[in-house]
Each structure stands twice: as C-alpha cells, then as structure tokens.
C-alpha cells in the first residue's frame, strides 16, 4: 500500500494556506484593482467640509484601486486654508487627478482657479469660465464691503504671497503662470476656449465620455513618475457628498461659525434669563455644539477664542452685576477683537460683518438686562400688593430654602415647614427678591 510522505502532506498544507492568504490579500480593498474612473462631485463653495470630502474621496479611490480620479468642479470659491489643503492633496495624490470644470455654465472662480491649475490634467466644458482669484474677506449679500475699503483690506503683502504661491503651482504643472498671477491681481476671467489658448488648461471636452476619450493614451507625470493613461472602457464610480459632508460644508465657513456662536449664546442666554421656555435653550445648545464641532476644521487662533469666551463672561456678568451697560460694552469690544483674531485664514471675515454680529450680541444682552432689572424693581415695589396671596408650585424642595415658580417666574423662597417639590404653595410675604411661602391647602 502507498503511504504519503508526512513532509509532502505538510508542503501541500503550507501551499494551500499560502494560496488562501494570497487570495484574501489580493481581493481586499487595499489591493483590489478596478478598471474604473473615480468621479468626485465638487459643486459647492470651497470650505473645510469640501476639503475633507476630497481627502476622503482620494483615499477611497486608492483603496478601490481606481485608474484615475476625475473631479467635476463648479465653485464660486471659498476658504483659502481649505483650498490650500485641497491643492496639497491633489498635487501629492498617488493617483492621477483630472479637474474637469463642468457641466456647461459651470465656473472655477477664486479658489477654484488654483484647484484646477494644480491638477495633473485640467479640462473644461464648453460654456464654462475660470478666473477672478483676487482674495477678498468673506461677507454676506446684505452686508457688502465698501468700495473704498477693498484696496485697504488686502495689502500688497497678501497679494504677493498669493501670486508667489499660485505661480509656483502653475510652473510645477507647466501652465501659464503669468495669467494665473493676472487672475489674482486683476481678477482676470476667461472662457474655456481662451483658457485653452492661454495654456491655462489642457483640453476642452463636451462631456465625461469625450473627456475619457481624449485622455486615453495621454502621458502625464504623477509624483515624478511618468504614466500613460488607459481610460478606454473604464467603468464610472460616482462619489457624492454624504449628509455629514453637506452639513459640515455648510457650517464650516468662518461666517457661519460666528452666526452659530451668536445663535448659541442668544438661545442659552434667553433660557438663563427666562427659565422654562426650553425651546431657545435647546436651539442654543445645538448651535454651540455645532460651533465647537465646526471650529476644529479651521486654523484657529486661540487668543481670539479666549477673547470671545471673555466676551461671553462680560455679557453674563452684566446681567448678574448690573453695571448699566459697561460690561456689555466691554463684551462687545472683546467680541470684535476676538472675531478679528479668531481665524488664521488669509482674507478672514469682513470687519463690517463682525461689528454687526458684536452689536447684535451686545444689544441683545443689554435689552435683556434692562428687562430683568425693570422686572425685579417692579416686583419689589409692588410685591406686597401683587404677590402676596399668589399661588405657585415648588420647583426645588423648601427645607427651609428652595425655589418656587410663581406668577410665571422662578423665585427664591423660604418656608417654616418642609415642602416637597411639585407641591402647591401660597405667598405670605415678600422680602426683596425672596418670598416667604406656606403650603397651599
């Protein structure tokens, strides 16, 4: 009878195990090879959320083993720091990246210019435009920047920095550095055909199919390695923003962060001064959480953050101490200085918008303070007549001190006997802002 050699059995088992391991690694996401073009849809403002979305997309394309990445771009511009992050991700990507300004009617304005120029291949659809990259402070439509301040806001130093930065990118990619500088200094803007003639972009494509057809066989350099694109018969995989990406993109702009801050302290402040409303406090709490979440995606100057925190302390102290507006004014000034210093992003937020936010915040606290003072004074003056005999409910057990809810407000109260929470009481006497109560039978 034939007997198998134990060594042969071991070799066979070892070969099977190696084959299984090799198969698992080969079919894992990190080693898979897909004959596909990975399409990233970027049709929004450039923000920290957009930068995160692009970074995640590049990583996912790597794991899927995609042949190349096509960024469908349509943007009016946005955050400088976010744009710089995106440019670095594009220029250092191990996969070839094509920025395609599309569909017809789309534009690559402001920060979109440098994102397009940084690509391994830059393309545009007919009827699109590119340009107007002059850096300006963020603003809102209803708070335009005064014409006379436009030149004073962006100094020559800022422009020199941006032009040097942009020219280095254009030269690295073999594109027209002189025109890119003109787009920054003079806000020059050109059509797709003009951009092709000026060698700002590499080609014009009617649609995605036409783009892939023109890319097939094109030789490019990716991280100093020459590659020939093979784009024929590639499958298309579309990567679109998730709900999280959309929310982050919306809340991560400097202006929106300041608005969230305003809503947050306004809602929480209202709840502090008028307990029981609930809804303003909930909205304020959510806004503050979103503020704390969004601020981590922007380059923050913590001195500015401390000044804003100091402004909050001044506003709260105004209510507690009643300095007749002095602390509110100090809080407003602290808020303005903090907001100006808060973001390291070049361009920042328009001073007019910051001052408007600060005045609204300070005005809110001053009005509420005045109402609180007037309410308390009126209660003291007419307390004997207006509160004695009023019915209420115990909110915090009286033993002998506690809190009661009388006449729509929370009051400190004392009682000769212990009265548990939720029991009914009646007011016997008023001593300043403290009520003497008894159990209501």
Q: Select the highest-mean-pLDDT range: 79-83, 115-119, 135-139, 144-148.
A: 115-119
User: When comparing pLDDT for 27 and 375, which is higher?
Assistant: 375
Q: Which residue has the tokens 């690694």?
A: 25
The phi, psi pair for 197, rounded to 5°, reads -65, -40
Residue 109 three-state SS: strand
Q: What is the C-alpha separation between 36 and 41, in angstroms, rounded?
A: 16
Give the count of alpha carbons within 13 A of 401, CB side only: 3
What pTM, to 2 d.p., does this model score?
A: 0.65
Last residue of a domain, one of 220, 245, 270: 245
189, 55: one domain: yes
pLDDT at 164 over 90: yes
278 and 294 fall within a common domain: yes
pLDDT at 163: 92
Q: Report the candidate in 256, 47, 225 with the shortest Cα–Cα distance to residue 139.
A: 256
Higher pLDDT, 377 or 350: 350
Does the residue 15 lie in any domain?
no
User: Where does the pLDDT of residue 129 fall: very low under 50, low under 70, confident under 90, or very high at 90 and above?
Assistant: very high
Which uninterrupted H or E stretch holds 385?
helix 351-386
Q: Per mean pLDDT, which range of 87-96, 146-155, 225-234 is the poorest?
A: 146-155
Could you give the angle at the alpha carbon of 178 between the alpha carbons of 173 and 179, nearest 5°? Answer: 90
Give the pLDDT of residue 22. Answer: 46
Within this chain, do residues 372 and 393 fall inside the same structural domain, yes or no? no
Instruction: Give the residue numbers spanning the domain of 376.
Output: 253-380
Q: Are residues 84 and 231 in the same domain?
A: yes
Q: b or e along 258-280 (b: 16 or more beta carbons within 10 Å of the residue's beta carbon)? A: bbbbbbbbbbbbbbebbeeeeeb
Q: Is the pLDDT of residue 347 over 60?
A: no
Residue predicted with more confidence, 259 or 319:
259
Strands (E), 338-441: 391-396, 401-406, 409-415, 424-431, 434-439
At residue 413, does pLDDT exceed 70?
A: yes
Rounded CA separation 380/382 (Å):
6
- For residues 261 and 184, membership in a common domain is answered with no
Percent of the chain with pLDDT over 70: 79
- Domain presence at residue 364: yes
The least confident of 25-34, 151-160, 354-363 is: 25-34
Burial 375-410 (b: 16+ CB within 10 A, else e): eeeebeeebeeebeebebebbebbeeebbbbbeeee
Say which residues have a Cβ less than 8 Å from residue 378's Cβ, sequence separation at least 6: none
Is 221 part of a structural domain of the chain?
Answer: yes
Measured CA to CA, the distance from residue 232 to residue 215 in angstroms comes to: 9
pLDDT at 153: 47
Answer yes or no: do 49 and 194 share one domain. yes
> Which pLDDT band holds residue 127 (cuts at 50, 70, 90)?
very high
399 and 278, same structural domain? no
Query: What is the band of 294 on the pLDDT scale with cuts at 50, 70, 90?
Result: confident
Catalytic residues: 110, 157
Indicate if the alpha-carbon torsion angle 397, 410, 318, 301 is positive or negative: positive
Q: Are strands 401-406 and 391-396 parallel, antiparallel or unpaired?
A: antiparallel
Under the banding of pLDDT at 50, 70 and 90, the label for residue 139 is very low
Q: Are residues 320 and 407 in the same domain?
A: no
- pLDDT mean across residues, the chain: 81
Beta strands in 43-181 (DSSP E): 68-73, 97-101, 107-109, 121-124, 129-131
Decide the pairing of beta strands 424-431 and 391-396.
antiparallel
Separation between Cα atoms, residue 2 and residue 140, nearest integer Å: 88
Indicate whether 364 and 405 sit together in one domain.
no
**Quick one: pLDDT at residue 21?**
47
What's the CA gap between 167 and 335, in Å, rounded? 37
Is 202 in the same domain as 259? no
Q: Which residues contact 66 (CB under 8 A, 6 or more apart)?
A: 34, 36, 37, 38, 95, 237
Comparison of pLDDT for 289 and 383, the residue scoring more:
289
Per-residue pLDDT at 301: 79
- Virtual torsion, Cα 100, 106, 108, 111, nearest 10 deg: -120
pLDDT band of 278, cuts 50, 70, 90: confident
Please compute the mean of the pLDDT values over residues 278-307 and round it to a whole number: 83
Average pLDDT over residues 416-431: 90
**Measured distance CA(254)–CA(116) in Å, rounded:** 24
| C-alpha span between 208 and 230 (Å, rounded) | 15
Residue 392 lies in a domain: yes
What pLDDT sits at residue 14? 47
CATH number for the domain that contains residue 55: 3.90.226.10
Query: Is residue 98 domain-resident?
Result: yes
Domains of the chain: total = 3
Please list the residues that pair with 419 across neighbouring strands.
Answer: 398
pLDDT in tens, 168-216: 999 999 999 999 999 999 999 999 999 999 999 999 999 999 999 999 9
pLDDT tens, residue by residue, 1-36: 445 455 554 455 545 555 554 444 444 444 445 689
Asked if residue 202 is part of any domain, the answer here is yes
Which residues lie closer than 8 Å to 337 by C-beta, 6 or more apart? Answer: 304, 307
Q: What is the pLDDT of residue 144?
A: 44
Give the pLDDT of residue 151: 52
> Do 135 and 49 have their domain in common?
yes
Has residue 26 been placed in a domain?
no
Q: Crossing angle, helix 177-185 and helix 156-172, to 10 degrees?
A: 150
Average pLDDT estimate for 153-160: 68
Q: How confident is the model at residue 376 (pLDDT cuts 50, 70, 90)?
A: low
Mean pLDDT of 393-409: 89
For the chain, how big is the Rg over CA atoms in Å? 32
CA 391 from chain center: how many Å? 49
Q: Is 4 inside any structural domain?
A: no
In a shared domain, residues 237 and 117:
yes
pLDDT level of residue 326 (50, 70, 90 thresholds): confident
Q: What is the rounded CA–CA span in Å between residue 354 and residue 340?
A: 7
Closest CA to 255 of 344, 133, 353: 353
Which helix (H) or strand (E) element contains residue 84? helix 80-91
């Amino acid at each position: 009878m034939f007997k198998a050699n134990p060594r042969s059995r071991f070799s066979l088992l070892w070969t099977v195990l190696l084959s299984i391991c090799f198969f698992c690694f080969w079919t894992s996401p990190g080693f898979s090879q897909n004959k596909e073009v990975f399409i990233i849809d970027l049709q929004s403002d450039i923000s920290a959320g957009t930068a995160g979305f692009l970074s995640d997309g590049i990583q996912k394309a790597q794991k899927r083993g995609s042949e190349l990445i096509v960024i469908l771009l349509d943007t009016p511009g946005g955050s400088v720091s976010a744009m710089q992050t995106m440019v670095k991700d594009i220029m250092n990507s191990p996969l070839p990246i094509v920025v395609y300004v599309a569909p017809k009617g789309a534009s690559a304005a402001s920060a979109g210019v440098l994102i397009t120029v940084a690509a391994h291949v830059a393309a545009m659809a007919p009827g699109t435009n590119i340009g107007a990259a002059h850096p300006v402070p963020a603003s809102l439509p209803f708070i335009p920047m005064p014409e006379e301040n436009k030149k004073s806001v962006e100094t020559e130093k800022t422009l020199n920095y941006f032009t040097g930065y942009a020219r280095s990118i254009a030269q690295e990619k073999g594109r027209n550095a002189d025109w890119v500088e003109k787009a920054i200094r003079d806000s020059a803007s050109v059509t797709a055909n003009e951009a092709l003639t000026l060698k700002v972009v590499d080609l014009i494509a009617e649609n995605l199919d036409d783009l892939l057809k023109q890319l097939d066989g094109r030789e490019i350099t990716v991280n100093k390695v020459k590659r020939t694109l093979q784009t024929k018969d590639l499958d298309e995989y579309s990567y679109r923003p998730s709900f999280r990406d959309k929310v982050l993109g919306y809340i991560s702009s400097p202006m929106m962060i300041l608005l969230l801050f305003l809503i947050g302290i306004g809602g929480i402040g209202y709840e502090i001064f008028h307990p029981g409303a609930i809804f303003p406090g909930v909205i304020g709490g959510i806004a503050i959480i979103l503020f704390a979440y969004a601020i981590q995606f922007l380059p923050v100057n913590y001195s500015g953050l401390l000044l804003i925190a100091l402004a909050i302390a001044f506003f709260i102290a105004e209510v507690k101490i009643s300095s007749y507006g002095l602390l509110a004014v100090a809080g407003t000034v602290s808020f303005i200085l903090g907001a100006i210093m808060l973001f390291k992003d070049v361009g920042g937020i328009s001073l007019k918008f910051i001052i408007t936010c600060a005045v609204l915040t300070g005005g809110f606290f001053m009005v509420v303070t005045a109402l609180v003072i007037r309410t308390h004074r009126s209660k003291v003056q007419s307390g004997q007549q207006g509160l004695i005999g009023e019915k209420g409910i115990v909110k915090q057990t009286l033993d002998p001190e506690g809190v009661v809810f009388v006449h729509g407000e929370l009051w400190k109260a004392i009682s000769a006997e212990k009265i548990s929470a939720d029991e009914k009481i009646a007011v016997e006497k008023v001593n300043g802002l403290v009520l003497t109560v008894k159990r209501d039978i």
